[in-house]
Amino acid sequence: MVNTKNSPIYALEIKDLKKTYKGGVEAVKGISLTVEKGDFFALLGPNGAGKSTTIGVISSLVQKSSGKVSVFEHDIDKELELAKLRIGLVPQEFNFNQFEKVLQIVVNQAGYYGVKKELALERAEKYLTQLDLWEKRDSPARALSGGMKRRLMIARALMHEPQLLILDEPTAGVDIELRRSMWTFLTELNEQGVTIILTTHYLEEAEMLCRNIGIIDKGVLVECTSMKSLLSRLNMETFVLDLGKDLRVEPSLDGIKCRLSDGHTLEVDVAKEQSLNGVFSQLSDQGIEVLSMRNKANRLEELFVELVEKGAIEPDKSSELLTQEGALVDKEASANKGASS
């Protein structure tokens, strides 16, 4: 496929993707979306919504029922190997040999893609160093902490230097300090030109990192827009105020909800059309000085609550169909791996 001069280059293009598993479970029901080259894209939705199936199809672990998927203009039905060369996948589950040494795991991964050993060793040092794992290179994977194993999964996925990195819950179970260091690494990687697709249950993570967002529910794409546009729909804004003195109880603010994060940090919910001057005036009348103010970052969570309340997204409940998806993806992925080996 020849790209015309003025048309955008899509890292990922999905048209009318459908997937029905044996037993009639419709996991994906006609999804269409595009992710532009260089984007940092969030793919979100409740458990069982179809995210894992969609990722499975993109990475050729799951066979689609119908539709078209292209990775950097390579149709996975016609040019699968060229498409796979451009994808790095970080799945939710640790799927490396726990008894193998860290360095060997990443070097072997490079070998699967035809990377010569000398170059593989250079890349291994580069990515293991960047992810604070170089000192653990001779340790067996089983000796690593959960956070280290997550970082090892990322390093392994980067060994053939893919143009598209897909991260499925990459910071699950990782403490906040380590999570933020991984955010920094991923942001720098994206700035270097790597397109990133992220699924996460940490909505703050998606809001902090991603420029565009797709939301899947019950196998249907219910939202696909810029993060900025999506967040602009919120009727309320949350501000964090740093106070000049410690408080034991929340101040009484007329018509405004507020809560203390700690003794000297107050969060206030303000309607978009409402002025903050009234908040400052009421606090001043109570002898409370505001030293600084900032927007609260985790706005996406509030939007999810709003969408659930409006019925646009089903509450994350354990119905028979929803809880099947992960197991069905794993089963088909294992079967496809066995068939290709």
Burial tier of 59 (Cβ tally within 10 Å: 0-12, 13-18, 19+): buried
Q: Which helix (H) or strand (E) holds 221?
A: strand 220-226
CB contact at 8 A, 220 and 53 = no
Residue 153 lies in a domain: no
Residue 66 lies in a domain: no
Alpha helices in 158-224 (DSSP H): 176-191, 203-209
Q: What CATH number is attached to the domain comprising 247?
A: 3.30.70.1560
- pLDDT band at 305, cuts 50/70/90? low
Identify the pLDDT of residue 46.
83
Alpha carbon distances (Å) from 329 to 19, 116, 126, 145, 337: 11, 32, 32, 26, 12
Mean predicted confidence (pLDDT) in 89-105: 95
Tell me the one-letter amino acid at 96: F
Tell me the one-letter amino acid at 97: N
Give 259-281 pLDDT, tens digit per residue: 998 888 999 988 877 888 889 99
What average pLDDT does the structure give for the chain? 87
Residue 207 lies in a domain: no
Structure tokens at 322: 């929803």
Residue 282 lies in a domain: yes
Write the DSSP symbol of residue 4: P
- Higher pLDDT pick, 35 / 205: 35
Mean predicted confidence (pLDDT) in 94-122: 97
Diameter of the chain by CA atoms? 73
How crowded is residue 76: how many other Cβ atoms within 10 Å of its Cβ? Answer: 20
Give 216-236 pLDDT, tens digit per residue: 988 999 889 999 888 777 777
- pLDDT band at 147, cuts 50/70/90? very high
Residue 246 lies in a domain: yes
CB contact at 8 A, 156 and 108 = no
Residue 285 lies in a domain: yes
Identify the pLDDT of residue 316.
47
Helix (H, G, I), strand (E, B) or coil at 225: strand
Identify the pLDDT of residue 1.
46
Give 1-17 pLDDT, tens digit per residue: 445 456 678 999 999 99
Instruction: For residue 111, give every residue at least 6 positions away whose Cβ sits within 8 Å of its Cβ, in sequence order, or none.
Output: 117, 120
Instruction: For residue 37, give every residue at least 6 positions away whose Cβ sits within 8 Å of its Cβ, in sequence order, or none.
Output: 8, 9, 10, 11, 72, 163, 195
Mean predicted confidence (pLDDT) in 157-166: 98
Mean predicted confidence (pLDDT) in 44-57: 90
Tell me the one-letter amino acid at 71: V
| Res. 321: pLDDT tops 70 | no
Residue 291 lies in a domain: yes
Mean predicted confidence (pLDDT) in 320-329: 51
Q: What's the residue count for the chain?
A: 341
pTM: 0.78
| Res. 325: pLDDT tops 80 | no
Tell me the one-letter amino acid at 130: Q
> Domain range for residue 250?
236-298
Of 164-173, 238-247, 304-313, the range with the lowest mean pLDDT is 304-313
Write the DSSP symbol of residue 135: G
- Give how many domains the chain has, as a whole number: 1
Q: What sign for the dihedral angle of Cα 115, 118, 121, 126?
A: negative
Identify the pLDDT of residue 307.
67
Give 67-93 pLDDT, tens digit per residue: 999 999 999 999 999 999 999 999 989
Phi, psi of 143 (to 5 degrees): -85, -5
Burial tier of 130 (Cβ tally within 10 Å: 0-12, 13-18, 19+): middle
Residue 135 lies in a domain: no
Q: How far apart are CA 212 and CA 203, in angstroms?
A: 13
Instruction: For residue 319, give every residue at least 6 positions away whose Cβ sits within 8 Å of its Cβ, in sequence order, or none.
Output: 48
Of 54-58, 98-102, 192-196, 270-274, the range with the lowest mean pLDDT is 270-274
Identify the pLDDT of residue 323.
46
Instruction: For residue 151, give every residue at least 6 positions away whose Cβ sits within 8 Å of its Cβ, in sequence order, or none.
Output: 131, 132, 133, 182
